[in-house]
Structure 1
Amino acid sequence: MAETEPLASVRADVWLWAARFFKTRSLAKQAIDGGKVDLNDAGCKPSKAVHVGDRLQIGRGEERFEVVVLALSEQRGPASVAQALYRETEESLAAREAARAQRKLGAAGLLRPPTRPDKQARRQIMKFKDEQS
């Protein structure tokens, strides 16, 4: 199939899928319907047209991305190609790094045992939990 003229716009759910923010177009659509995606500081619908230069705020789990659309694609390609479709803002990178550091600090106090508990230890844990209830 010959290369045609560049795309003027792409559906929001298709672009999010092609840019690899979501594994399937259906998940991208669910995220948009759930209010996890904003386009140019306004709400978004799955069929909303995305253009070059648009600003997207994407929430995915605990991560929050703010990206500027650099290119459009309707096909999902390798990660290197997908990363060329957008540029993440400096504020977004800094906020995600700060959140990552905060989560790391929060888990620092959690000491995990070196091995799984054996049968005797499991019984002690169950007895302790029953006494607490």
Structure 2
Amino acid sequence: MRIDKFLKVSRIIKRRTVAKDASDAGVVMINGKEAKPSSKVKEGDILEITFGERKLKIKVLNIKDSTKKEDAVDMYEVIE
């Protein structure tokens, strides 16, 4: 799955266009490498997202094409 779609479906970022812009800006990393919006995400990957001064580090647990709001948190685990 593309990183911009994963961020939207998992509800880490609310809109896909915002997720695309974040990837273009270089604030999204996959396994320590800068991610482009089209970068592929798979189970077990470590994502690092910088929101201003705050860093969010998560591990991808599950990939789903669509999900309900309550089930979105099952797609990832917050590491730091």
TM-score normalized by the length of structure 1:
0.57
Counterpart for residue 19 of structure 2: 28
Counterpart for residue 64 of structure 2: 73
Pick the structure with greater CA Rg. Answer: 1
Counterpart for residue 82 of structure 1: 72
Residue 39 (structure 1) shift: 0.3
The structure with the largest helix share of the pair is: 1
- Does structure 2 retain, via aligned residues, the 8 Å contact 1:13–1:29? yes
Counterpart for residue 130 of structure 1: none
Deviations, residues 74-129 of structure 1 (Å, cap 9, x unaligned):
22521x2111000011xx1xxxxxxxxxxxxxxxxxxxxxxxxxxxxxxxxxxxxx
- Does structure 2 retain, via aligned residues, the 8 Å contact 1:35–1:43? yes
- Does structure 1 retain, via aligned residues, the 8 Å contact 2:27–2:34? no
1:37 to 25, 28, 40: 28
Runs of 4+ displaced beyond 6 Å: none
Q: Secondary structure at the match of 1:49?
A: coil
CA distance, structure 1, for counterparts of residue 68 and residue 12 of structure 2: 12
Q: 5+ residue gaps in structure 2?
A: none
State the percentage of identical aligned residues: 34
CA distance, structure 1, for counterparts of residue 78 and residue 27 of structure 2: 17
Q: Secondary structure at the match of 1:65?
A: strand
Query: Which amino acid in structure 2 is aligned with residue 18 of structure 1?
Result: V
RMSD of aligned Cα (Å): 1.1
Deviations, residues 13-55 of structure 1 (Å, cap 9, x unaligned):
0000011111110000000100110000001111111000000
Which structure has the higher relative contact order (CA within 8 Å, separation 6+)? 2
Q: Secondary structure at the match of 1:45?
A: coil
Aligned residues: 80
1:51-62 aligned at under 5 Å gives the runs 51-62=42-53
The structure with the largest strand share of the pair is: 2
1:1-133 aligned at under 5 Å gives the runs 10-78=1-69, 80-89=70-79, 92=80
